[in-house]
Structure 1
Amino acid sequence: MKFKYLVVDDEPLARKLIATHASKIEGLELVCECASAIEASNVLRSKPVDLIFLDIQMPEIDGLKFISTLKNPPSIIVTTAFRDFGPEAFDLDVIDYLLKPISFERLLKAANKFFERKTAASSKVLESVEEPAFIYLRADRKMHKIATSDILYIESLDEYVKVYLRNRMLITREGISILETKLPAEQFVRIHRSFLIAAKAISTIASDGVEVGGKILPFGRAYKQSALAALKVKI
């Protein structure tokens, strides 16, 4: 994967030097060079950009003011001849602050900081993905860890309950009402005193019942209206 970047500087030689340094770094791809913040703003409206190498002292609008105009700014590496703006720049969450003349080694160090931040952000996204919901079900004298996404429907019989999964069936003595309290209410619907079904597993709905896993399960008179409301269906 390559991250796309802009070089924004009113000095042509400075732009050329940064672009030359950055071209040696695997993972970066130049979108274009911009001579002003206004030109960069126009590019950002039309093209995806992950990183900006940004000068501070430029005509019309300086680099730091430009950052503050962006609602969702890309990552920023400041490139400037002035030391005095460091604290203000870092308050704007820039990746790094490079003083001109910029060596390849110094720009590479800044680029690596950018890569590290991107990697950390990707890791947080992966960590935020929730593990599939599970319930524990007692059957065959063991506790089975069951992903709720694997449950098609639950059928209550006289003395036991059958839990139909995608690839098997378990028999438990836990009551259907107990299991109903363990399962996400937005994903499972009680259609009958004897049937609790996974809404996603439904293939068809008719006036007398639903089809789940190739089997027609009937609506109970006391459950039909609430089930249809939960399923957001009018029959």
Structure 2
Amino acid sequence: MISYIIIDDEPIAHRIIEGYCEHLPQLKKAGNCFNAFEAMQLLNEQQIDLLFLDINMPRLSGLSFIKTLSNPPEIIITTAYKDHALEGYELNVCDYLLKPFSFERFMKAINKVSINIASLSKNGTSTPDDISLKRIFLKGNKRHHQIDIDHILFIEACGNYSKVVLLNESIVCHEKISTLEHMLPSKKFLRVHKSFLVALDHIDIIEGNRILIKQHKIPVGQTYKAAINHLIKH
């Protein structure tokens, strides 16, 4: 789970973000703060993974608040002012959303957060709760599909898109295979070809230069053989 707090002096902004987050089971609200000082207190009391942060707030602005944090969590700025975007990115915020923002744009920001947290976990610097990604949202066929990662058999690259093959269906999504590789946990997925990423738990047979997953035959690329050999030895 990714724990989040909303920091904004406008109640309607809280309601909009909460409404979006309710569709994402990997997100868990830890609190609502209406100024930076309330947020400081909450951050001192709890482990928080993500801040939704407004810029224009009384007494202490969002950007000034970021500068006070020695070890900030992931931050998504939510603001009506585009003039501060460059400064926000210089402070290493994950994304910068201009109000009013759509659910689609919101989802792109959350996927960035998921990738960053997964990357931290791979590097051994995860939060004490050791966040594990269970579900992701992927856009395909003009809809957002919630995917249980345990249902993914393999992923095939299709140019700037990817074909995600699940237990009972396939979805062509708007993400590159490299993006999905970084988003998904490395302990569960392995790149076996420049165009294929497979779920380790669903491998049935490894036979020469191919992998069999149910009725699917997946090639093993020459540069990926070492990873396969390591897998077999273990």
TM-score (norm 2): 0.52
Residues 140-151 of structure 1: pairs in structure 2 closer than 5 A: none
Is residue 11 of structure 1 aligned with residue 7 of structure 2?
no
Superposed displacement of residue 26, structure 1: 2.4
Residue deviations 1:34-76, cap 9 Å, x none?
A: 1111111111111110000000000010000000001111110
Q: 1:24 aligns to what?
A: 23
Q: 2:68 aligns to what?
A: 69
Cα separation, 1, equivalents of 2:102 and 2:17: 9
Residue deviations 1:141-189, cap 9 Å, x none?
A: xxxxxxxxxxxxxxxxxxxxxxxxxxxxxxxxxxxxxxxxxxxxxxxxx
Q: Which amino acid aligns with 2:93?
A: V
Q: 2:218 aligns to what?
A: none
Q: 2:108 aligns to what?
A: 109
Superposed displacement of residue 6, structure 1: 0.4
Residues 82-121 of structure 1: pairs in structure 2 closer than 5 A: 82-121=81-120
Runs of 4+ more than 3 Å apart: none
Residues 25-64 of structure 1: pairs in structure 2 closer than 5 A: 25-64=24-63
Q: How many residues align?
A: 126
Cα-Cα RMSD = 1.5
Superposed displacement of residue 87, structure 1: 0.5
Q: Secondary structure at the match of 2:123?
A: helix
Unaligned runs of 5+ in 1: 128-235
Q: 1:181 aligns to what?
A: none
Q: Secondary structure at the match of 2:66?
A: helix
TM-score (norm 1): 0.52
Unaligned runs of 5+ in 2: 125-184, 187-234
Residues 127-146 of structure 1: pairs in structure 2 closer than 5 A: none
Q: Secondary structure at the match of 1:84?
A: helix
Superposed displacement of residue 21, structure 1: 0.5
On the 8 A contact 1:49/1:74 being kept in 2, the answer is yes
On the 8 A contact 1:25/1:108 being kept in 2, the answer is no
Q: Secondary structure at the match of 2:29?
A: strand
Residues 147-186 of structure 1: pairs in structure 2 closer than 5 A: none
Cα separation, 1, equivalents of 2:67 and 2:28: 25
Cα separation, 2, equivalents of 1:77 and 1:6: 11
Q: Over alpha carbons, which structure has the higher Rg?
A: 1
On the 8 A contact 1:78/1:96 being kept in 2, the answer is yes
